[in-house]
Amino acid sequence: MATGRTHRPATRSRGIPEATVARLPLYLRALTALSERSVPTVSSEELAAAAGVNSAKLRKDFSYLGSYGTRGVGYDVEYLVYQISRELGLTQDWPVVIVGIGNLGAALAGYGGFASRGFRVAALIDADPAMTGKPVAGIPVQHSDELEKIIEEDGVSIGVIATPAGVAQQVCDRLVAAGVTSILNFAPTVLSVPDGVDVRKVDLSIELQILAFHEQRKAGEEANAEADAADEAETAAAVAPPAPRGTTGGGRKGPDGDVPAVMPA
């Protein structure tokens, strides 16, 4: 079929799957650690273990970015770090505003992983006048009256909402009106935004409830399997792991052996 003179540089395609995008930061973190230890190359197997995924998935993910590995050898760590950074848009600087400087907002402001990767806290904003001017994590808090001005002057496109749920939608509306197009929401509420604005949410309560669900199921399994075993047999086999962990076999977590891979995605 020959190389059909594709005019386009045929860069990574127009559509990296969302699931892949969500894992790129994981790979990047693992690669950065390797880079700091001056490891030159890494195989898909090793990197996958470090990132907590399986190697087939990792290779498939990388295949969406392009052919950045060398068969029989592995991946060049530095090169991959750069490529993934670029793909994620981390080679540029993203100014971020945090709105709501309570306990959580303060914690976020002081979070190291923030500044380390392309993100810069452009401003901390709170509605409480008593907070204004007070330095949090070395940055003086500004009053929310200034919100629009800050966003426009600094060209902020990413906002973090750490306010109480009751005011989150108002804050969101103001952020969007001022030009923010990506929002990370820590308030336990559903935000509605116009088309073209991305919202991601982080909700402690939801995560705990999901854990509780599984926890409850574990407890139920022990006491279960009595009367209606026959009825459930087929279903249970599909859901429960094939090896019932009676004594759990010690539960080893090998540093570089088998990977547990427990994340339910």
Partner DNA sequence: ATATGTGAAGGGTTTCACAGCC
Partner DNA sequence: GGCTGTGAAACCCTTCACATAT
Of 232-251, binders to its own copies (CB under 8 A) are 232-233, 235-236, 238-246, 248-251
Q: Which residues contact 150 (CB under 8 A, 6 or more apart)?
A: 97, 122, 123, 125, 142, 156
SS3 assignment, position 126: strand
Of 39-47, 107-115, 120-128, 144-152, the window that binds its own copies (rule: CB under 8 A) is: 107-115
**Per CB under 8 A, does 139 bind its own copies?**
no
SS3 assignment, position 25: helix
Residues 18-77 that bind DNA (CB under 7 A): 18-20, 43-45, 54-57, 59-60, 62-63, 67-75
Cross-strand partners of 92: none
**Per CB under 8 A, does 265 bind its own copies?**
yes
We find the least distance from the C-beta atom of residue 134 to its own copies, in angstroms, to be: 15
We find the least distance from the C-beta atom of residue 147 to DNA, in angstroms, to be: 33
Please tell me the distance from the alpha carbon of residue 127 to that of residue 102, in angstroms, as a whole number: 10
Would you give the end-to-end CA distance of the chain in angstroms?
39
Of 86-94, 135-143, 176-184, 255-263, the window that binds DNA (rule: CB under 7 A) is: 255-263
Comparing CB distances to DNA, the nearer of 29 and 59 is: 59
Please name the amino acid found at residue 202. Answer: V
Please tell me the distance from the alpha carbon of residue 144 to that of residue 117, in angstroms, as a whole number: 26
We find the least distance from the C-beta atom of residue 24 to DNA, in angstroms, to be: 12
Residue indicated by tokens 């700091």 = 36
**Per CB under 8 A, does 66 bind its own copies?**
yes
Binding characters for its own copies, 17-56, by CB under 8 A (x = yes): -x--xx-xxx-xxx-------------------xxx----
**Per CB under 8 A, does 184 bind its own copies?**
yes
Pairing of strands 158-161, 182-185: parallel
From residue 23, give the alpha-carbon distance in Å to each of 100, 143, 171: 29, 36, 29
Comparing CB distances to DNA, the nearer of 58 and 101 is: 58
Please tell me the distance from the alpha carbon of residue 188 to that of residue 201, in angstroms, as a whole number: 8
Q: Kindly list the residues in this chain that would bind DNA in the complex (CB under 7 A).
A: 17-20, 43-45, 54-57, 59-60, 62-63, 67-75, 245, 247-248, 250-254, 258, 260-262, 264-265
